[in-house]
Each structure stands twice: as C-alpha cells, then as structure tokens.
A = this chain, B = another copy of it.
Amino acid sequence: MASKSVLTPQSEDFPRWYQDVVAKAEMADNGPVRGTMVIRPYGYAIWERIQREIDDRIKLAGAQNAYFPLFIPESYLSREAEHVEGFSPELAVVTHAGGEELAEPIVVRPTSETVIGEFMAKWIQSYRDLPLLLNQWANVVRWELRPRLFLRSSEFLWQEGHTAHASYEDAQAYANKIHLEVYNDFLNEVLAVPTFLGIKPPRERFAGAINTLTCEGMMRDGKALQLATSHELGQNFARAFEIYYQSEEGQAELCYTTSWGSSTRLVGGLIMAHGDDQGLLVPPRLAPTQVVVIAVRDEPEVNEACERLQAQLIAQGVRSTLDRSRGSFGRRVTDWEIKGVPLRVEVGPRDLNEGVVSVTRRDNGEKLTWPLAGVAQEATKLLATIQRDLYARALEWRDVNTLDVPSVVEAIDVAQTGFAKLSWDLVGASEEAQMNNEAVTVRCLQRADGSIPESELENDLLCIVAKSY
C-alpha cells in the first residue's frame, strides 16, 4: 500500500540510503558551519530517550553529574603529551573575545580530561574522597574533514564520565562496570544491538589511555560501528594534573583515573543496525513513539475513538502519538514507516462498527485485528515481543556475517562484507598496517569465550577485524 520508492534501497547504495533516512525521517540537517549538525525534533526525541536510559544507568553505577567549561586554556592540553598529539589536528581555537585578542588562545573542548583533571586535583584531599565518580552531558568539538550526520560531526553531543581511584584495580574494575552495566546493558536491552566486547589494540587507543574498552556493533551493510568506549588512563592524567590523595597511612599517592563516553553517534548506530528499505526501525524500549494511532478518516466518531484509545494507551504507560492530520492516508502511513514507529493502529469507520482496529507491526509488516477494548494490553505485550525480535534479528545478522578465518589475507576478504575473527597472534605491526591500507581495522581483541581481556599481551586472544564507520 505504502509507496516503496521514497528511499534509495540499501542494496543499491547504503550510504545514500542512510542520508535519505536521516532526511526523510526528519532526523537532522547539515548546519551552516562545515561539519556541524542540526538535530531536528524527531532525532532529538530519540537522543533524549537515549540520554534518559544511559543517565539512569550511570546514576545507578554511583556517578554524579556535573558540568565543566566549554573553553579550555590551550596550555592544559599540552600537559599530557599523547593527548595533545592526538587531538591537536582537530581543535577549534578561540583567539578573540569581548572585542579583544586573547593573551592565551582558548581551545573548544574536544573532550574534558584535562579541565576535569585540574578540578579533581583541587577536590581530592584524602582516600576518603575516593573514588570520585563524575559524569557530564555536553557538546564537544572535533574538526571533521569528512563529516557525516550523527556519525562524524564537528560538534557532537555526548556524555563523558571521569573518575579517580586510589588503586589501579579499583579504576580497572570501575571502567569494566561502566562498560558492562551502563553501555552494554543499554545497547543490548534498549537499543537491541548485540555487541562484541573487547579492548582496542594499542594503535586504536584513546590518546593518553593505557587501555580502551569498546562495544562494537554490526551495521546492516556488515561494517562495524564503535558504540561506546571506556578508558583506563592509568596515572597519565593524574601525573599531568597532580591528582594526589593522602592515603590512610598519611602518604601522598597519585590517583588512577578513567574516562568513558557515548555520543549522538548512537543515533547513527540505531539507524544502521536496524533500518530497512522502508526506513528506520526503532526498538520499542527506545522509541519516543511506540504506537501511532491513525484516524483513517476525519470523522467525529473516528476521532473520538482515537482519542479514547490514545488515553488508554497512555494510561497503560505506552508512549503513543495520535495522528489526525488531514493529509493523504497513504502518505501518513509511509511517513510513520520511515520514522520506524513499532506499531501502527489504524482506526476506521467500518472497523469501528465491528468494535475492532487494524494493527501493523513495522518490523515484519504483520497485520492484526484487535478488539478495541484490548488494544492497550495487547500493545504492551506485542511491544515486548518486537523488542526481542529486533535483537534476535540483529544477532542473527551479526552471527551469519561473522566468520572465523585462519589468515590476515582472508580476514581482509571477509571484511568486505562482514566481520572476520582470527587469532591476534597472526597480527603483527606489518599485518595491521596491511589491513589498514585496505580500510580494514582491528575493532577489538577478546578472549576465546568473548570476555574482555585485561591487556593485549594475554595469551590466545582473538581479534575482530572489519571495515568501520
């Protein structure tokens, strides 16, 4: 019924399909300054749901939100050598303010380890102040030469956690806790995206980290997307910013710090992990609108039934939107399909006479007829089913497209369309460079059982290699 030609098919041109979805689902636009992004209301409503879910988990993990300045003195970045080297090419610099040239240029934060390190040093006195567990929701700027909405933008929105600990073990354990209980739980349970967990190989680490944990997801074109990362910073930033604490024995000791982040890139991940040729597919637990109630005709009886239904759904805790706009019915259906709303309930005069409504699942197109009185309860049940089905579909996609291979050459071949898994022992510096020349990277190292290793030096590690965003 709905027109199928609104979007470029995925199989024809996946990047173009992505652009089409972002535009037609009214998710985002390019901003006037190169690489910046306007997040439109529907895209932002999804981001707000992501924020709420991640923020709840961060608070459960014991971290508190705070806010640090956008502007950082240029000299701060230089204090950690690898950090400044990693970020210098991407910085935006303020040289004039208040009508005058500044004595010291100011950097627009690309990330906040440095400025937060400065304040941790002030706030931490003794072991009683540890661990110090902070998080902030903020915008950051990293100049992008090849920007892409949500995936790589010069300004993006994110949360960045920053913690300080008395021991290496405590820091490591907390980075792991965040990685599993915040990021991976959100990704699996809410975003419905199965992940490969592991650590980054040294050359892919965050600038200044001693270890970087990552969650890698597979998109519908077989490429990888890094969805969230958690960094063990060792004592690198503590040394640079003099973050000391007095131990129980009265000694001045250097702290161990961590940082961890997830961003508006997750919206890009949502689009590419679940979307199909009809548009987005938003998992019910994430969806700003879980059910759209559509009045088939603009008649008083139909409108009243829709309003009653909408009230029942909301009372049942279902996020429901009522569509009684007067445009073409077919066009409205297509628009809700593109936006990926999980369930569509159509209320028409003939069905009403029979006391039923007609229901369509976005994920598989299945059509159902429900008695009017039972819609709210049936919807709640079916939404839970759709959530599970979307995860299962994504997991199957990932597993079918992840192959064990015995060599780097075959890994490069498999990585043209999916993920390759091979022994990390086969990948030396020259093999990694060889892959990188083919735009293939080591996404993560993991143990044979899929768990997260402590270091790349463990024996018998596997690595996942793929093309990526």
Contact = CB atoms under 8 A, between A and B. Distances in A.
B108 A94 contact: yes
Contact of A97 (B69, B71, B92): B92
A69 B99 contact: no
Contacts of A65: 41, 44-45, 48
Interface in A41-74: 41, 44-45, 47-48, 64-73
A76 interface: yes
Interface string A61-100: 0001111111111001000000000001111111111110
A41 B73 contact: no
A93 B97 CA distance: 6
Max count, chain B CB within 10 A of own CB: residue among A40, A71, A122, A145:
A71
A242 interface: no
Interface stretch (A30-38, A229-237, A255-263, A312-320): A30-38
A48 B32 CA distance: 30
Contact of A31 (B32, B40, B68, B108): B68
Given A40-B66, A45-B64, A29 B71 contact: no
Given A38-B119, A73-B32, A94 B94 contact: yes
Interface string A6-41: 000000000000000000000001011100111111
A94 B97 contact: no
Contacts of A92: 71, 94, 96-98, 106
A19 B444 CA distance: 49
Contacts of A93: 94-97
Max count, chain B CB within 10 A of own CB: residue among A31, A139, A143:
A31
A66 B38 contact: yes
B66 A44 contact: yes
A141 interface: yes
A29 to B, nearest CB: 7
Interface string A305-347: 0000000000000000000000000000000000000000000
Interface in A100-118: 105-106, 108, 115, 118
A33 B106 contact: yes
A302 interface: no
A372 interface: no
A155 interface: yes
A145 B98 contact: yes
A157 B66 CA distance: 12
A29 B122 contact: yes
A391 to B, nearest CB: 28
A36 B157 contact: no
A6 to B, nearest CB: 18
B119 A71 contact: no
B95 A41 contact: no
A88 B97 CA distance: 10
A64 B41 CA distance: 6
B95 A36 contact: no
A414 interface: no
Interface string A150-180: 0000110100000000000000000000000
Interface string A217-231: 000000000000000
A157 B309 CA distance: 39
B118 A69 contact: no
Given A65-B48, A67-B157, A108-B94, A76 B32 contact: yes
Interface in A114-156: 115, 118-119, 122, 134, 138-139, 141, 143, 145, 154-155
14 contacts: A33-B106, A36-B69, A37-B67, A44-B67, A67-B157, A69-B155, A89-B98, A89-B99, A92-B98, A92-B106, A93-B95, A93-B96, A95-B96, A98-B143
Please give me the 3 A-B residue pairs with the lowest Cβ-Cβ distance, nearest first.
Answer: A98-B143, A36-B69, A41-B64
Given A71-B154, A92-B97, 10 more contacts: A31-B115, A32-B69, A33-B106, A44-B64, A67-B157, A69-B155, A91-B97, A92-B96, A97-B143, A99-B143
Interface of A: 29, 31-33, 36-41, 44-45, 47-48, 64-73, 76, 88-99, 105-106, 108, 115, 118-119, 122, 134, 138-139, 141, 143, 145, 154-155, 157
